[in-house]
Structures are given as structure tokens and as C-alpha cells.
Chain A
């Protein structure tokens, strides 16, 4: 009744989507505060490397994950200090951060090529995790998958239900006004940027210790950019970013399976599918320009210099 390929496919889709969820949700918070950090790819790849290196050296998955998050956070700190305190251009700095991250991780990771890491233990609740279909999908994941869902719920709650979240949205919406009311635009933005970095680092860590538990140069393969696109496509809403990540991950996996089944379409076209689909959905979503303008943080990408 249930096709035997269904559950494994869904499981791989979840694994493919989770790093995107982390990175996109983190970036959504940073962008909501008005900071456009194009360095997601760089932060992710450094996170992936740090997690893998610490994981292999210490053997501890927890340490590996913490290292990934911390490494992403450090990268974001560089970005934050440059753009928020030294007023460098956000776009240029973000691009530089990506190039820097890719280069640095390749250099440091040279010695780790070819090693493997054991991966993360999966949740196993006797009786429940064995229920067909539902068991493995909902009760048989590693804890980072649950954490990614919790992050979406948490960020959504934070942004729209708490006063601090309101402040984040306020500085992204109108930094001059937030400043004249008396809030520290710079500190709030730094916090948001650091959170975004840590989340990108987690996304990277998931890649190198779960998705493909080994280290390859440039292993993020553009996922940071996809995460960035997802944030816009989700009109800066955490839940939409979550579904976007699963859409992208889903099509990626399904087209892989299609290639495996030998469907008579050139594999190059199939490989384009996830990107094409993302672009199409992006365009469809942004048809209503006024709506997009309203959900877009009005001060996105603009530096703030307090005159006082």
C-alpha cells in the first residue's frame, strides 16, 4: 500500500532541508533588524568545517555542534563590527565574508579531507519510533532536526510576540525613529547578526556531521545563497522560510531519484529544477509588490550612523 521508497525519500528530504532551515531562519532575524548579511555561505562553510574538525578530534557530537555555532557566530561578529561600527558597506562586506569563509575553510580543512565522522544518534522511542511511516518521520530524527523546528517556532514567537522581537522589527523598519525614541540601533542589530551567524553555523554543522559526514572543500555548494533567497521568498516570515526550505530540499531529492529511475530527461535539466522552481515560486510570491514592500524591512541594507 505504502510505496517502499516513500519513507526513505521523506527522510532524505528532511536531512536536505534542515541546514537550509537553520540558515534561513537566522538570516531572517538579521534581515528583520535591517542588516543584509550576504555572508551566509561563508558562515555556513566555516561552521561546517569547525564542527567537523572538532567532531573528528574530540569524538563528541555535542562539542562539534557547539563549535559549528560558535564559528558561525565569530564570522558574524567580524561582519557586525565591520558594518555596524566601522560603517562598511553591507553588500560588499557580506560578499567578502563568503569568499573569506570559503578560502579559510579550504585551507584549514586540507588535513581533514578523507576522514569521516560517525554522525548523530537518532531519536528512538521503543514502540513509537517503529510505527510505520509516522514513526521514522516524526519520532526517529536526530535532535538537530527537532531543534530546527523549535528554532522556527521560537523565532516566530520572538519576532511577533515579544517586546524584544518588536524592537528588532522596529530598527529594521525605521532606524531613525527607533533611535529618536531611544533604542540602541547598533546593539539590537549586532544581536540579530550574531544570532544569524550562529544559526548559519549550525546549518553548516548539520551538513558536515549529518548530511554528508565528511569534509570536502566548498561543501556548502551554494546552500547559503539558497537560504538567502528563501528569506526573501518567505517575505521574512520564519514559517514560510521553513516551507521554502522543504520545497527546495524536496525537489532536490525528488529530481535525484528521478535521475536514478532513468527518466528520459537530461540530468542537467533535472539538476536545474530546484533552482528553477525556487525562482518561479519567488516570482509568483512577489507579484503583489505592495505586499512585499510592506513585509520587507524598510531599512534593509542601510547603515545607521547616529548623529548625536
Chain B
């Protein structure tokens, strides 16, 4: 046991100090003897791969979870944080990765639920508007959460914290769903808070952002603190390697391979969204050739989900010629027929859409590959062959799992995503459509997933990647198009674009790429929200 005797040599007492925090879950040591010190006004990054124990640690700090052992010092005084309510009273606020919001309620109700009753009592709407104006976080208290974009939802969480004048703000993966512009705005707010003396504990996989924003970083691996660093003095690569404990292999593009004939063509596709507050697709045209990766960038909620549904066949289109796969009109084909015709797809939601949570990995493999891999015999499942196929996915894509008989829900997000991508790719599709391939996936797994997509394209498949992670699109795509308000821009070769160009196009502020209805350019002023 490492014993630190308190000697008041430092002038400034840390805002928060954790000593020897240990938390065990059945089968895993989520936190092992974790020490952490956060100074007043400091933006402190917490780094680590999926499953490194960061979320467990911050949930403990916010009083949601308990630790088996360890000590907490808040502004120099030892204390316990038995519940989020106590945490809030102490001055700790938290913005969750999966927002703790209630879709069927208004912004005001959501905020009222997350603050002390006294604060919620009178004129909460006014207070919300005051704080949101003060920090440039525009919010309409009367709107229902389900009508808001992800960025706006995050603002609710932040305003909810700011209303209570926090001394420590915990942010769990705040930028994974934001556009570059929204990230810039968020950073402005965070820097301002830090300048006002609020400490920020910041979890993210985006190392470039951490370099830009954070003063110090603590690196965790397998539940333990393994290193500390000053992010501005490191490179994204060196931090990734500290997290993984080994060298990071960046995806490499195979040397110029043949770009062949169009495999997937979409012509004049217009579809009314089947969703409440969805985005209708308007006159979408594009082509993906064999050996090529087309990237579609866009802020979530601009028609990506609808496009994915139309491409996978979940929502058939009336006009069969609108979607053509290798000279075959498939507009009216369902998902199964499209798979047969050689399409593989990976939806955004891993659990519930990409995989059945409570079914084992081999069953999940079977569900998608039953015909492609001949896993059926007269209506009976060939269990041995299905298992074999699942094992080949697990081995081929280095999925960390105790075995293919385990439920899909037991895998971490990154591992499950590798499994789903592997399951699709190993069926040798000519066309592969992927929505948000590395959402919330750690650097190592993300690199592996991107490499797999590149390899598949090099082998002659046509690959379509729909994502709002621009770094990712620039890493893998040959051409990039932008979807905004249900319209798709003309695609441009990746070399001719910069991240900023695409970022502006995503926000609907620029119309590079021949948008049929150019939005009036508003220069630096923030344009109307697309959602």
C-alpha cells in the first residue's frame, strides 16, 4: 500500500484528489488503486481505451457508483460522495456520454429534473435563458428534447451543470457527436469556465482535441493509471501509444489500385422520412465504383439514417431504378435480397440494429450470414458451420471475447463493432455501406476498422462510409460528398478538400460542390440550425 503522508508543501490545494480507488465488478477489476489529482481551473484529460475504467471512475466521482476502497479529498478535506445529489451540492457537475435526458419532455423539464428543487422552483426558464446567453449556449426551454440535434442536447446537459455554478465539471466524451464548429464553440465555453476557476475533467478519444484543450492528462489502461503527461508536449500518436501500451498502426492505403466500374449507383432518389422529425431525402445522386471508398460527411440528423435505410433496403423505394447495384435495379429489394445481390451493411446502432443484444455472437453471425455463407440446411441451422464462421470473424478481426457463445451485449462497443464489421466483410460483399463505423470506438479498434475497410476496397469492393468524423473520412475516402438537409453535394476528390471546407459545408454555410439550391452564404455568422 502506497501511503502518502499529507505535507502541506503546496500552496494550492487540489480541487479533487483521489487516492487508491478500487472497484471490482464480477470478473473485472474496473479500477485498481487509482490516484488522481485535479487542480482548480485545470482542464484535465482522462485517457484510455474502451474498457480502461474511465467511465467507472467518473461515475464514482459523481456519486453514481460506489468504490470498494479508496479515499476522496475535495478541496483538501476528506469526504464521501454517496449520491449525485450530494455531488451536485459539493459543486460537481457531469455531462454524460449517453446523455441523461428524457426525450418526451421539454428542455425546461429536463433541466428541472437535474438541479436542486429550490433552483427549479421559480422562473427556471428565465434562469436557463440567462445562463445560455451568458455562455453562448442557445436553448429554447419550451422545446421537446426529441426534436433537438445532438449538439443541442449536449447544451442542455451543460446548461444544467452551469446553473449550479460547478467547481468541477466532468465531461464524458463530449465531442464524439459534434461537428468541428460545434466542437470549437464547446471549447470556447470550456476555456472560459476554466478561466473562471472551474476544474474540468475531460474524457475523450480524440487526441488531437486533447492536445488543443487540456492542460494535463492522466492515462489509464486496464483499470490502472499508467502514465501522466502534458498533452501539448505530446503527439496524438505518442498519447495513443501510451493508452494502448504498444505501437499504433495507422491505417495505410494500398498503393493505387484499380478503380473499376460503378457498383452502386443512386439516381434521383427522393424519399419521405418515415420518422417523426426525420429528414426527407431530396434528389440524391451518387456512384461508388469498385475499388473506391466514397465518404459522406454530415451532421447527424441531415438524412444519414434515412439514406442508410434506403440503401440497406429497410425502406424500399417506389422507383426500382433509383438504386442500382451492379446494373441491377434493386430499389424494391428488401435487405435480404440485397445481401444476396452482394451488399453488406453496418448500421449505426450496434446493439439493437447491428446485433441482437441478448443473442450469442455465433447467432448474430448466423442472422446476417445465413444465406451468404450457406449456414442453413433445409431450414435447419448448421451450428458447427455458424460457429466456425463466428470464430473466423473473432480471430480475423481480433475481437476480444471469451468465446462466440457469449452474448453480443457482453462485448465493449469497440469490440462489438469490430465483430459486426468483420461479419459483414467476411461475406465478401461487392458493396459495403457503413454508417458511423467508429462512433465511440477507441483509437486502436478504430484504426483496425478503417484498415479493414481500406483492404476491402483494395480487393475491389465499392465502399460507402457515412460518418460525421471528418478525420476518419479524410483517412479512408477517395472522394467525399456532404449531406445537408437531405440533399447530397457533388463528391470531390479528397485531395482537393480541407477539413475546414467540409466542416463548413456540413454546417450548411458554404455550398462548394454545386448544391442545386445554394443557401445564402452568411459568412462568419452562425447560420440557421439544420435540425
Binding site for B on A (CB under 8 A): 163, 166-167, 169-170, 173-174, 176-183, 290-291, 293-295, 298, 307-308
0/1 string, B294-335, CB within 8 A of A gives 1: 000000000000000000000000000000000000000000
Q: How far is the CA of A182 from the CA of B90 in the complex (A)?
A: 14
* CB-defined contacts of B59 to chain A, threshold 8 Å: 180, 308
Tell me whether B104 and A182 are in contact (CB under 8 A).
Answer: no
- B63 touching A182, Cβ below 8 Å: yes
Assuming the A-B contacts A173-B102, A173-B104, are A182 and B88 also in contact, with contact meaning beta carbons closer than 8 angstroms in the complex?
yes
Taking the closest CB of chain B, its distance from the CB of A138, in whole angstroms, is 35
**Could you tell me if B104 and A298 are in contact, using CB atoms closer than 8 angstroms?**
yes
The contact of B105 among A163, A169, A181, by CB within 8 Å, is A169
Q: Is A181 a contact partner of B113 (Cβ separation < 8 A)?
A: yes
Are B275 and A169 touching (Cβ within 8 A)?
no
A-B contact pairs, 14 of them (CB 8 A): A163-B120, A166-B105, A166-B113, A170-B113, A173-B104, A174-B102, A174-B103, A178-B100, A180-B64, A181-B113, A183-B113, A290-B275, A295-B104, A308-B64
CB contacts (< 8 Å) of B94 on chain A: these are 180
> Is B114 part of the binding interface, using a Cβ–Cβ cutoff of 8 Å?
yes
Please tell me if the beta carbons of B120 and A180 are within 8 angstroms of each other in the complex: no
Give A308 to B84 CA distance when docked, in angstroms: 12
Count residues of B near A (Cβ-Cβ below 8 Å). Answer: 31
Please name all residues of chain B whose beta carbon is closer than 8 Å to the beta carbon of A166 when the two chains form the complex: 105, 109, 112-113
- A182 and B92 CA atoms in complex are apart in Å by 13
Interface pair A298/B103, CB less than 8 Å apart:
yes
Complex Cα spacing A23 to B504, Å: 56
For residue B83, CB closer than 8 A to chain A, the reply is yes
B66 to A308, Cβ gap below 8 A?
yes
Interface set, chain B 81-129, CB cutoff 8 A to A: 83-85, 87-88, 94, 96, 98-105, 109, 112-114, 117, 120
Q: Report the nearest B residue to A290, measured CB to CB.
A: B276
A179, A180, A183: residue with the most chain B Cβ atoms closer than 10 Å: A180
A181 close to B109 (CB less than 8 A): no
In the assembled complex, which residues on chain A have CB atoms less than 8 Å from the CB atom of B88? 182
Please, how many angstroms separate the alpha-carbon atoms of A181 and B114 in the complex?
A: 6
Given contacts A174-B103, A290-B275, contact A182 B109 (CB under 8 A): no
Q: How far is the CB of A210 from chain B (nearest CB, A)?
A: 37
Partner pick for A294 among B85, B87, B276, CB 8 A cutoff: B276
Please report the C-alpha to C-alpha distance between residue A169 and residue B103 in the assembled complex, in whole angstroms: 11
Instruction: For residue B53, give the distance in angstroms from its CB to the closest CB of chain A.
Output: 14
Chain B residues contacting A293 (CB-CB under 8 Å) are 276
Note all chain B residues with C-beta closer than 8 A to A290: 275-276
Residues of B within 8 A of A308 (CB): 59, 64-66
Which 6 residue pairs of A and B lie closest in terms of their CB atoms, listed nearest first?
A182-B84, A290-B276, A177-B100, A308-B65, A173-B102, A182-B85
- Near A by CB (< 8 A), chain B positions 218-257 give none
Q: Which residue of B100, B103, B105, B112 contacts A180 across the interface (Cβ within 8 Å)?
A: B100
B282 at the interface (CB under 8 A from A): no
Chain B positions within 8 Å of A169 at CB level: 102, 104-105
Q: Are A163 and B103 in contact (CB under 8 A)?
A: no
Contact B84–A173 (Cβ < 8 Å): no
Contact B102–A307 (Cβ < 8 Å): no
**Residue pair B100, A174 in contact (C-beta under 8 Å):** yes
Give B95 Cβ to nearest chain A Cβ, in Å.
11
Instruction: For the complex, give the distance between the alpha carbons of A181 and B99 in Å.
Output: 10
Taking A169-B105, A294-B146 as contacts, is the C-beta distance between A180 and B96 under 8 angstroms? yes
A-chain residues with CB within 8 Å of residue B25 when the two chains form the complex: 307
User: When chains A and B are docked, how far (Å) is the Cα of A166 from the Cα of B25?
Assistant: 33
A298–B101 alpha-carbon span in the complex (Å): 12
CB-based nearest A residue for B87: A182
Contacting pair A176 B100 (CB below 8 A): yes
Q: Nearest Cβ in chain B — how far from A20, in angstroms?
A: 26
In the complex, chain A residues whose CB is within 8 Å of the CB of B104:
169, 173, 294-295, 298
Q: Is the CB of B100 within 8 A of A163?
A: no
User: How far is it, in angstroms, between the C-alpha of A180 and the C-alpha of B60 when the chains are bound?
Assistant: 11
Q: How far is the CB of A103 from chain B (nearest CB, A)?
A: 33
Q: A169-B105, A170-B113, A308-B66 are in contact. List 9 more A-B contacts (CB 8 A).
A: A166-B112, A169-B104, A177-B99, A177-B100, A178-B113, A180-B94, A181-B84, A308-B59, A308-B64
Q: How many Å from the CB of B405 to the closest CB on chain A?
A: 23
* Contact among A174, A183, A295 with B101 in the assembled complex (CB-CB below 8 Å): A174
From B109, which residue of chain A is reached at the shortest CB distance?
A166
The CA-CA distance from A294 to B230 in the complex, in Å, is 46
A183 to B103, CA, bound (A): 17
Whether the pair B101, A177 counts as a contact (CB closer than 8 A) is yes
Known: A173-B103, A173-B105, A180-B64. A163 touches B96 (CB 8 A): no
Most buried by A among B66, B105, B117: B105
Across the interface, name the chain A residue whose C-beta is closest to B146.
Answer: A294
Residues in chain B near residue A183, CB distance under 8 A: 113
Please name all residues of chain A whose beta carbon is closer than 8 Å to the beta carbon of B87 when the two chains form the complex. Answer: 182
Structural contact, B65 and A307, CB atoms closer than 8 A? yes
If A163-B112, A181-B114, A182-B83 touch, whether A170 touches B65 (CB-CB below 8 Å) is: no
**Closest residue of chain A to B88, judged by CB?**
A182
